[in-house]
Amino acid sequence: MIDLESVREIVRMYEKHGWVPRRFLLTKDLAAKVDSLKSPLAMDVPIHPSDIDAAWFSRPPRAGGIPWELRYLGEPPFALLENIDEDEADFGESLKAVERRLKDAVAGKKQGLTSH
């Protein structure tokens, strides 16, 4: 499991490149560490319970929809990028669909690592 300092380092790296942390998806274990340390990962960023540790980032659009990136907070590092319009009625479902894709991809990568 990733430690909080490593998560903060990931957030700093994204912010350095113009990305804004928008929400965290945290497993019970990592969420408990955040709570027990009274340590916010980033100011005013909501934390959602999940069965995977990940972070959503977005940045101002250059053209088209707003780029949103979902970054897996484990090993191996992995992220999915989507252009999503926050004003669309299905915005929440769009995020959930990307989250499902990330979970499937991470599970596939882990399975591939253990089958060798």
**Which residue would you say has higher pLDDT here, 36 or 77?**
77
pLDDT tens track for 72-87: 998 888 899 999 888 8
Q: What is the DSSP string of 29-93?
A: HHHHHHHHTT--SSTT--EEE-SS-EEEEE---SSSSEEEEEEE-SSS-EEEEEEE-TTSTTHHH
pLDDT tens track for 4-14: 888 889 999 99
pLDDT tens track for 53-74: 999 999 988 776 789 999 999 8
How many separate domains does the chain show?
1
Q: Is 22 helix (H, G, I), strand (E, B) or coil?
A: strand
**Domain carrying residue 94:** 4-114
Rounded to whole angstroms, the Cα distance separating 71 from 40 reads 18
Average model confidence (pLDDT) across the chain: 85
pTM (predicted TM-score): 0.85
pLDDT band at 116; cut points 50, 70, 90? very low
Kindly give the pairing relationship between strand 78-84 and strand 66-72.
Answer: antiparallel
